[in-house]
C-alpha cells in the first residue's frame, strides 16, 4: 500500500459528461501529480501541484482542470468527455525532493462510452 488513495477505482460515463477524480496523497506529502495512461501507452504527465499551487503543467487538455485543496487532497476534473479520454488516471505524491520517488495510487479507470 503506497498510502495514496484514489477514488473512484472505476468510472463509466458517456461522451459529453463531466467527472471528478479524487486523490488523497500520502500523509505529509506536499506534492501531487496527475498522469494519464491510455491503453498500452506510457504515462503522460498532466499536472503537478505543490502545497496548493500549480507547479508544473504537461499535456493537459483545456477541458481538464485540477486543484489541490488546503488539506492537500487533489481533484482532477474532466469535462466534455470524449471517447479518447478513456484511460487509467494515476495520482502520485511525494514530499517534493528531486531525488524522491513518486508514490502512486492504484488509479482510476475511466471508460467513456
Question: Binding residues for another protein, per CB under 8 A?
Answer: 2, 33, 35, 41-43, 45, 48, 55-56, 58, 88, 90, 92, 96, 98-99, 101-104, 106-107
Nearer to another protein, 80 or 111 (CB): 111
β-strand pairing of 19-24 with 87-94: unpaired
Minimum gap (Å) between residue 15 Cβ and another protein = 24
C-alpha cell at 7: 477514488
Quote the CA–CA distance of 50 and 8 in Å, as a whole number. Answer: 23
Minimum gap (Å) between residue 33 Cβ and another protein = 7
Minimum gap (Å) between residue 22 Cβ and another protein = 18
Q: Which residue in this structure is represented by grid cell 496523497?
A: 25
Beta bridge partners, 89, equal 36, 108
Amino acid at each position: 500500500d503506497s498510502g495514496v488513495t484514489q477514488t473512484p477505482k472505476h468510472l463509466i460515463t458517456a461522451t459529453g459528461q463531466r467527472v471528478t477524480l479524487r486523490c488523497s496523497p500520502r500523509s505529509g506529502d506536499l506534492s501531487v501529480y496527475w498522469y494519464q495512461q491510455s491503453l498500452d501507452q506510457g504515462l503522460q504527465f498532466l499536472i503537478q501541484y505543490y502545497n496548493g499551487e500549480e507547479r508544473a503543467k504537461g499535456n493537459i487538455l483545456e477541458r481538464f482542470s485540477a486543484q489541490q485543496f488546503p488539506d492537500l487532497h487533489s481533484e482532477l476534473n474532466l469535462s466534455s468527455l470524449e471517447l479518447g479520454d478513456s484511460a487509467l488516471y494515476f495520482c502520485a505524491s511525494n514530499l517534493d525532493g528531486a531525488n524522491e520517488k513518486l508514490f502512486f495510487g492504484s488509479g482510476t479507470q475511466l471508460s467513456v462510452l
